[in-house]
Structure 1
Amino acid sequence: MRDVLFVPFYDGTELVVATDGSAAIGEKEKDIVHAPYDVVAYFAARVAFMEVLSVGAKLHAVVLQNFVHDEAWETLCNGIRRTCQELHIDIPVIGSSETNFPTLQSAVGITVVGTVQTERKRVGITPKDAKFAVIGEPLVGDEVLKRNERVLSLSLFQALLRQTCIYEIVPIGSKGIYYELQQLLQANGLAFSSCSCKLPLFASAGPSTAILISYHPCVEEEVKKIAKSLFFPLFID
């Protein structure tokens, strides 16, 4: 299952909803990973944005759930705005802050709402002769900040979205490459007995620091040219 909810809306159009959250990451003393709140919101937002955009949808609104404290609201919004700026979009942000009780660790939730025409969904369209690759490296926690150059950038993500011979794009989450590949193949009625890649197949990719793509063999060289050292072929049997 993709981490996206599709809801029939009107005239062949569907609502698309995706969400991401982070906990114990922030500026509080008991947080496990220490990072500024705009950075926390940026990475949480990019996950939800990528999920919605990867299925061919248009973005409409962002919902922010702030469990840090009320004073963090504007800083968190700045992180979301940074995501929007990198994607060259402008959409409204609404949400709520926990103001009744203090929390010992930081927590943030971000939900993105979009729409897509059913006939244009980039889901379940990978053919049997498709090739597969991972773009970016699976990173989590402090690694995301320390090895930022190995994180799939949003500009690269958008460049890959524009490639018409890339069938499907799947943001990789905490369950890793193998899980996302398994889900993608099952959704397309495809089976495999084994797979191999230079990257660790079961490592968490945290805030979608990498994506899985299925593509027509004819565009492999073009994709390699765009992704450069972040291109990792994924072989299945």
Structure 2
Amino acid sequence: MRDVLFLPLADGVELAVAADGSAAVGDKPGDVVSAPTDVVAYFAARVALLELLSVGAEARAVVLQNFIADDRWEALCRGVERAGRELALSLPITGSTESNFPTVQSALGVTALGTVASQRKRIGMTPETARFAVIGRPLVGAAVLAQPEWVLPLSLFAELLVSPYVYELVPIGSKGVFYEWTGLLAANRLRFRSCSCPLSLFSSGGPATAVLISYDPAGEPKLKQQAGRLFFPLFAER
């Protein structure tokens, strides 16, 4: 199941809504993982935006729910703007801040809003002949900041998004590669018995540090060239 809500608008166009939340990551004493506020917002925004773009939607705006502090608003916006910039997007930002009561841990919600033509949704497009791969390494928590070289660059995601060889893209979430792979198979009514991958199939992907793709085998050399060492094949047993 894709983590995007679709609502009909008019003339075959739908509103697409994707969201992500972050808690206990930031610069407060009670936070479990220490990170600058703008970095927290950047990674939360990338999850929501990647979910939105991967289903074929065009991003239109971002909504922030700031439970950190009033004086963090500008830093949060900078993080969102950075994610947008790396995806060649310039998006309006609105939202709300909890300014009545102080919090002991950082918490943030990011919602990305977009539109998509009903006939252009990028869902259920993977044929039986497709191959699969994970681009990037699933990371979570402090590992995200400690191993930036394994995090999928948003510029590479943008390239994959327009590649003629890629059928579908699915950001890896907290349930890991196997969960996203089985969801992709179900959406396409494909049946495989098992799979293997050089990566752990069950490690959390945290803030979408990796993405699962289904692709045309003819494009494998090009995709490997684009992704370099971030390309991890997922072998499916039929």
TM-score (norm: length of structure 1): 0.99
Q: Give the equivalent residue in structure 1 for 2:18.
A: 18
Q: Give the equivalent residue in structure 2 for 1:36.
A: 36
1:63 counterpart letter in structure 2: V
Q: Give the equivalent residue in structure 2 for 1:163.
A: 163
CA deviation profile, 1:135-185 (whole Å, cap 9, x unmatched)? 000100010001001000000000101102210000001000000000000
Q: Secondary structure at the match of 1:9?
A: strand
- Rounded to whole Å, the distance in 1 between the matches of 2:116 and 2:22 is 27
Q: Secondary structure at the match of 2:56?
A: coil
1:85-100 superposed matches below 5 A: 85-100=85-100
Q: Give the equivalent residue in structure 2 for 1:126.
A: 126
- Rounded to whole Å, the distance in 1 between the matches of 2:61 and 2:99 is 23
TM-score (norm: length of structure 2): 0.98
- Rounded to whole Å, the distance in 2 between the matches of 1:212 and 1:235 is 12
Task: Quote how far apart the aligned CAs of 1:89 are.
Answer: 1.2
- Rounded to whole Å, the distance in 1 between the matches of 2:93 and 2:105 is 23
Q: Give the equivalent residue in structure 1 for 2:220.
A: 220
- Rounded to whole Å, the distance in 2 between the matches of 1:222 and 1:7 is 36
Task: Quote how far apart the aligned CAs of 1:85 are.
Answer: 1.2
Q: Give the equivalent residue in structure 2 for 1:204.
A: 204
1:175 matches 2:175: yes
- Rounded to whole Å, the distance in 2 between the matches of 1:165 and 1:153 is 19
Moved over 2 A (4+): none
- Rounded to whole Å, the distance in 1 between the matches of 2:164 and 2:114 is 21
- Rounded to whole Å, the distance in 1 between the matches of 2:165 and 2:15 is 25
Q: Give the equivalent residue in structure 1 for 2:46.
A: 46
CA deviation profile, 1:188-207 (whole Å, cap 9, x unmatched)? 00112111000000000100
Task: Quote how far apart the aligned CAs of 1:101 are.
Answer: 1.0
- Rounded to whole Å, the distance in 1 between the matches of 2:162 and 2:125 is 16
Q: Provide the aligned length of Structure 1 versus Structure 2.
A: 237
- Rounded to whole Å, the distance in 2 between the matches of 1:27 and 1:227 is 33
1:98 counterpart letter in structure 2: E
1:59-208 superposed matches below 5 A: 59-208=59-208
Task: Quote how far apart the aligned CAs of 1:236 are.
Answer: 1.0
- Rounded to whole Å, the distance in 2 between the matches of 1:153 and 1:184 is 22
- Percent identical pairs in the alignment equals 60
Unmatched tracts of structure 1, length 5 or more? none
Unmatched tracts of structure 2, length 5 or more? none
